Amino acid sequence: MPYRVCVTYLLRDREGRTEVLLGRKKTGLGVGYHVGLGGKLEPGEGAVEAALREITEESGVVVDRADLDLRGQLLYLFPHREAWSQHSTVFVTRRWTGDPVETDELAPAWHDVDALPLDEMWDDARRWLPGVLAGGRVEHVYSFAADLATVADDRPMTPDDRRPVSSESPTPTRSAPVRVAPGEGGAARPGRP
């Protein structure tokens, strides 16, 4: 059974451009990749609580639960290494307190959303992240190939794939759904939150 993770993307406007905070992963699964802020849910923790905790642990900034914008869910399947399979809840925020700092887990940096370092991210990011950062939503399943890095198959999420976010989740905004072409579905990669 996939374990539960969360990921949050911090957005800011600078000089007429929108930027997203990504961190270059320093430890664990996905070392070297640029990832959003997030990680595994702890026992008894909902996705919202985990997102708030992980943002602070990985960047030093603090986000209020009311400022999290739920953007969707992703299911990552690794048939060749099932222990890597994950169910991810995706958030975006534009409000926080503090300045991002490097931690033991991530080296944060701001990136223009129109010039994401997609070649230095998990393969699935190019399929859904630009749409989510533009205000869309995503609910998709990605299956990874035997190389554990390439998306081999994808499909829209079904009701059986979905998981509750949390009993205290923020009310999802009415973001436009992310349009995913066949073979280009959206999913997060393991360790990528």
Cβ–Cβ under 8 Å, residues 90 and 73: yes
Predicted TM-score (pTM) of the model is 0.85
How far apart, in Å, are the Cα atoms of 31 and each of 10, 71, 106, 136, 155? 20, 25, 9, 28, 27
Alpha-carbon distance 115 to 139, whole Å?
23
3-177 fold? Nucleoside Triphosphate Pyrophosphohydrolase (3.90.79)
Cα of 175 vs its chain's centroid, Å:
16
Closest CA to 25 of 99, 112, 120: 120
Q: What is the pLDDT along the chain (193 residues), one digit of tens a residue?
A: 899 999 999 999 999 999 999 999 999 888 999 999 999 999 999 999 999 999 999 999 999 999 999 999 999 999 999 999 999 999 999 999 999 999 999 999 999 999 999 999 999 999 999 999 999 999 999 999 999 999 999 999 999 888 766 434 343 333 333 333 333 333 333 333 4
SS3 content of the chain, % helix, strand, coil (to 5): 20, 35, 45
Cβ–Cβ under 8 Å, residues 154 and 127: yes
User: Token digits for 108?
Assistant: 């944060």
Alpha-carbon distance 185 to 175, whole Å?
18
